Amino acid sequence: MDRIDKILSNLGHGTRKEVKALLKKKKVEVDGVIATDSAMKVDPEKAVIKVSGDEINYRKYIYLVMNKPSGVVSATVDRNDETVIDLIDEQYRAFKPFPIGRLDKDTVGLLLITNDGELNHKLIAPKNHVDKVYYAEINKFIDASDINTFKKGVVIDDGYKCMPAELEVLTANENGSEVMVTIQEGKFHQVKRMFESVNKNVMFLRRVSFGPLKLDEDLVEGQCRELSEDEINLLKQV
Ligand code: URA
């Protein structure tokens, strides 16, 4: 049981003060009865709550997938840059979500955003070996020895030996290569550092999948959508 003003405020219906005004204006209905007391205790899982006649969709957690654009940081707040949370709709921001893992400021693609701490923990734990697939453009020719080095585990600049990674070459010539790389970890700048350790540079990086989820082709950069129940369950099974 929670106060009705807290429930509605948490769901993005305004500040506590604004919700109080809604209640005063008799815009809120709980189980068919107009509610005016902001301290009224309600079980949001059971009660039918309506605001201005529309039934609210109560949930504790939200799960979003964003096609992250370049130039924004994967954080909840930042002093200098726009964050992925700044890009999402106020109705979702009210849930105080955060990104699952990080993509660099110049990396684009699939980023999960939620307020479910348990799922976050599970998905970023290295022991769970969640595959992350990236499309990358590289400044040089990628050859069989690079594929082999990635397969054996690249040793990056700080001496850390990465877990085996799969490198698939899509195109390759003297001007550069397009590749797909699959890793199971999420170290800082990991993909860029892996290529640097074979003397190559990542010119462009897009995450195209995370565990069982693939980046939607029609999700424009900067936009996000809610995950379906099935997608959430797939992630929980990881
Ligand atoms: N590896 C990187 O180098 N950068 C990213 O954003 C993600 C993986």
- pLDDT reported for residue 148: 98
Percent of the chain with pLDDT over 70: 100
8 Å CB contact between 190 and 184: no
Positions marked catalytic: 104
Task: Give nearest CA residue, ligand 1 atom 4.
Answer: 189
- Are 2-55 and 131-210 the same fold in CATH? no
Do the bridges between strand 166-173 and strand 108-114 make them parallel or antiparallel, or are there none, so unpaired?
Answer: unpaired
- Beta-bridge mates of residue 205: 136
- Say what percent of the chain tops pLDDT 90: 90
| CATH number for region 2-55 | 3.10.290.10
In this predicted structure, what is the pLDDT of residue 11? 86
> For the residues 212-229, what does the mean pLDDT come to?
97
In CATH terms, is domain 131-210 a member of 3.40.1800.10? no
pLDDT tens column, 105-157:
999 999 999 999 999 999 999 899 999 999 999 999 999 999 999 999 999 99
Nearest ligand 1 atom, CA 183: 8
Cα(193) to ligand 1 centroid in Å equals 9
Q: Which atom of ligand 1 is nearest to the CA of 207?
A: 7
pLDDT higher than 90, residue 35: yes
Confidence category of residue 75, pLDDT binned at 50, 70, 90: very high
Q: Which helix (H) or strand (E) holds 18?
A: helix 16-24
How many whole angstroms from 132 Cα to the centroid of ligand 1? 10
Q: Which helix (H) or strand (E) covers residue 22, if one does?
A: helix 16-24
More confident residue, 57 or 37: 37
Write out the DSSP string of 199-233. Answer: T--EEEEEEEEETTEE--TT--TT-EEEPPHHHHH
**63-126+213-236 has which fold?**
Alpha-Beta Plaits (3.30.70)
Residues 6 or more apart from 73 whose CB is under 8 A from it? 81, 82, 83, 84, 105
- From 107, 160, 167, give the residue whose CB has the most ligand 1 atoms within 8 Å, as the site to mutate: 107
Please tell me the distance between residue 94's alpha carbon and the centre of ligand 1 in angstroms.
28
pLDDT for the residue numbered 12: 84
Residue ranges per structural domain of the chain: 2-55, 63-126+213-236, 131-210
pLDDT at 10: 85
Task: Summarize pLDDT for 150-207 with one digit per residue, the tens.
Answer: 999 999 999 999 999 999 999 999 999 999 999 999 999 999 999 999 999 999 999 9
pTM of the entire structure? 0.89
Counting ligand 1 atoms within 8 A of each CB, the residue from 84, 105, 134 with the most, and so the one to mutate, is: 134
Atom of ligand 1 nearest to the CA of 102: 6
